[in-house]
Structure 1
Amino acid sequence: MQFGIFSVGQVSTDPATGRVQSEHDKIRMMVRLARRAEEVGLDVFATGEHHNPPFVPSSPTTLLGYVAAQTERLVLSTATTLITTNDPVKIAEDYATLQHLSDGRTDLMMGRGNTAPVYPWFGKDIRDGIDLAIENYHLLHRLWREDVVDWKGQHRTALQGFTATPRPLDGVPPFVWHGSIRSPEIAEQAAYYGDGFFHNNIFWPMEHVQRMIALYRRRYEHYGHGSADQAIVGLGGQVYMRPKAADAIREFRPYFDTSYVYANGPSLEETMKTTPLTVGTPEQVVERTLAFRDAVGDYQRQLFTLDLGLPEEAVMEQIDILGEEVVPVLRKEFAIGRPAHVPDAPTHASLLTAKNAKSDDDKEGATR
């Protein structure tokens, strides 16, 4: 099972000091967070994609390419790649390039984002959101698997004899997770292609998460990719930890109350009760996270967000606690009782092995 962190890249003002973070500081901070994640033994670093203040990660491949040069093992992902407003041709080429630069340590999560104005900014209509997600991904899927593509759709100009360059590393496209918190059509799409489904459930009650993942698992099996419990599932979460729960709540509350995403909403206590936000001890985070498996079954990827408004030194401390006190326990506990037929999260190495095995089987079948 993979464990890691993701950042939405929010520039913030520290309520304790009044210090206003600059865009430059936030971008450089995200790089340092990724490096620390690898140092403490985490598996994944993911960045969001936003095109509006107070967020900075408008160019995920640039950021992740820079991180790739400074890390050796970390899987580099997106927490959202806007499949609706980005050109699928450009996605195909940008992420294949990142895949080569990172020696295969690349995957991505397709999503529609949560900022309605982004559609007209890129010449799209939000009313076409689902259609764009489905059509654009269908084209992207082909661009990575066919050397020459002829294509015609409703939302971009047609392609004739087009080859996306560079081709995916070793002929293996980056693994794709489809991220959605509310749209069953996206769970259906993930199941249809046999891709992963990532439910970034930081704002949603577990009952809703259960319904969406159950739908994805049923449809994954329906399309013949394996049994429902072999479907590739990822979950998000948010944590803040201290040795004493009261200290964690006291320290985190000012950041929660002034957060861009939480301000003017339910209280900290209500949010902790109704969503996976866990503010408390490392032991409480372990207990809460293990309960996710009880709700959705064995899954493959768990990502935590830590930096919504917090200063860098506090986020670094949280990464250290994750790496030293939380993730080692979660690895051990999640392994207990995990059926042998439930796969790990796909990596470039595992996908390449599967591709080569299929090629060998095809050759053997042709000689019979």
Structure 2
Amino acid sequence: MQIGVYSLGDRTPDPVTGRAPTDHERLLNTARIAEHAEAAGFDVFAVGEHHTSSYAVSAPAVLLGYLAARTSRILLSTATALITTNDPVRVAEDYATVQHLCGGRLDLMLGRGIFGPVYAWFGRDPDDSRRLATENYRLLRRLWDEDTVDWSGDFRTPLRGFTAVPRPLAGHPPFVWHASVSSEETAELAAAHGDGFFANHIMWPWQHTARLVRTFRERYAAHGHGTAEQAVVGLGGHVFVRPSSQDAVREFRPYFDNAPLYGRGPSLEEHMNTTPMTVGSPQQVIDAVLGYREYVGDYSRQLFLIDHAGLPVDTVLEQLDILGAEVLPVLRRELAGGSRPA
């Protein structure tokens, strides 16, 4: 079981101070978080891709290249890169480059995105989302798997005798995850290619995640890649931890109430009761994560969202220290096993 953290790179104002970080501060602090996650013993650090002024990370490949030079052990990943609006040639070359720079410590998590206006900014139509994801990913696989590619499709100019450079490190492309909040089409795309499937698992009831993962496992087996139990599954999850649950709820409440993902909806208590979000003590985090297996089975990767909603970077680093010291050892012992990325 790989256990890691991921960042969306949002620039949400801190509701306590009223101040939002600048792009410069947010990018450098995201790097601090990645370095601290490695020191705290986490296995994975992943960063998302967004193209609005509320977020600082629009070029995850560039940031991951920077992190490749500042870390030595932790596996780096996107969370997610947009397969719909990015050109597959650019994706193939950017992430093969990062793979070389970090000595192979790279996965690629892909998604369709949930913000419609982004499509127009990159010359695409959101109504083509599903077809774009399928076509672009098929081309990406060929660019990595074949030295010379002849290709034509519906959404970009044809390729004739094209070679993407650099070639994947040692002939092995980064392992690919397909991330989804709710899309069964994304689960099908992952299953068809025998890739990993990452269920975001932060805003919906557990029954929704269980259904999505079950669909992926069934389709993975139907495509002949192995048994349903061998399908590679990852889960997200949002945590905020303090030594006592009362302190955790009290401190996190203003951040939850103003969070882009959650604010102006159900209360913190309602959200904790109906979704996998865990705000509490280390033992509560342990119990919650161990409970995930009851509805998804054994799985390969657990990533925690720990820096959303304007949390000060020092608070985020404290979270990493508590989780690293008191939660990771127990989870590693209890979650040993499960299928792993190739």
Q: What band does the TM-score fall into relative to the shorter chain?
A: over 0.9
Q: Any idea what SS the aligned residue of 1:201 has?
A: coil
Alignment pair present for 1:91 and 2:91: yes
Partner AA of 1:321 in structure 2: I
CA RMSD of aligned residues (A): 0.9
Answer yes or no: is the 8 Å Cα contact 1:196–1:234 preserved in 2: yes
Find the partner of 1:343 among 325, 339, 342. 339
Answer yes or no: is the 8 Å Cα contact 1:233–1:300 preserved in 2: yes
**Structure 1 partner of 2:328:** 327
Give 1:246 deviation, angstroms.
1.0
Query: 1:197-253 CA deviation, whole Å, 9 max, x = no partner?
Result: 000111111101111111111111111111111100000000011111111101000
Give 1:47 deviation, angstroms.
0.2
Partner AA of 2:256 in structure 1: F
Query: 1:154-193 CA deviation, whole Å, 9 max, x = no partner?
Result: 1111111111010000000110000112111111111111
Answer yes or no: is the 8 Å Cα contact 1:282–1:325 preserved in 2: yes
Answer yes or no: is the 8 Å Cα contact 2:175–2:341 preserved in 1: no
Answer yes or no: is the 8 Å Cα contact 1:23–1:56 preserved in 2: yes
Q: Distance in 1 between matches of 2:179 and 2:17?
A: 35
Count of residues paired in the alignment: 341
TM-score normalised to the size of structure 2?
Answer: 0.98
Alignment pair present for 1:215 and 2:177: no
Query: 1:129-161 CA deviation, whole Å, 9 max, x = no partner?
Result: 000000000000110000111111111111111
Answer yes or no: is the 8 Å Cα contact 1:44–1:76 preserved in 2: yes
Answer yes or no: is the 8 Å Cα contact 1:2–1:345 preserved in 2: no
Q: Any idea what SS the aligned residue of 1:237 has?
A: coil
Query: 1:2-60 CA deviation, whole Å, 9 max, x = no partner?
Result: 00000000112222222331111110000000000000110000000001021011010
**Structure 2 partner of 1:109:** 109
Q: Any idea what SS the aligned residue of 2:224 has?
A: coil
Q: Distance in 1 between matches of 2:179 and 2:152?
A: 25
Larger radius of gyration: 1
Q: Distance in 2 between matches of 1:186 and 1:344?
A: 20
Alignment pair present for 1:147 and 2:161: no
**Structure 1 partner of 2:179:** 179
Give 1:323 deviation, angstroms.
0.7
Alignment pair present for 1:193 and 2:193: yes
**Structure 2 partner of 1:267:** 267
Q: Distance in 2 between matches of 1:296 and 1:12?
A: 32
Give 1:264 deviation, angstroms.
1.2
Q: Distance in 1 between matches of 2:182 and 2:260?
A: 21
Contiguous gaps of at least 5 residues in structure 2: none
Alignment pair present for 1:316 and 2:317: yes
**Structure 2 partner of 1:256:** 256
Q: Any idea what SS the aligned residue of 2:255 has?
A: helix
TM-score normalised to the size of structure 1?
Answer: 0.91
Answer yes or no: is the 8 Å Cα contact 2:132–2:155 preserved in 1: yes
Q: Any idea what SS the aligned residue of 1:203 has?
A: coil
Q: Distance in 1 between matches of 2:237 and 2:258?
A: 19
Q: Distance in 2 between matches of 1:268 and 1:122?
A: 36
Q: Distance in 2 between matches of 1:106 and 1:50?
A: 20
Partner AA of 2:53 in structure 1: P
Partner AA of 1:319 in structure 2: L
What's the % identity of the aligned pairs? 58
**Structure 1 partner of 2:233:** 233
Matches within 5 A, 1:53-64: 53-64=53-64
Q: Any idea what SS the aligned residue of 1:45 has?
A: strand
Contiguous gaps of at least 5 residues in structure 1: 347-368
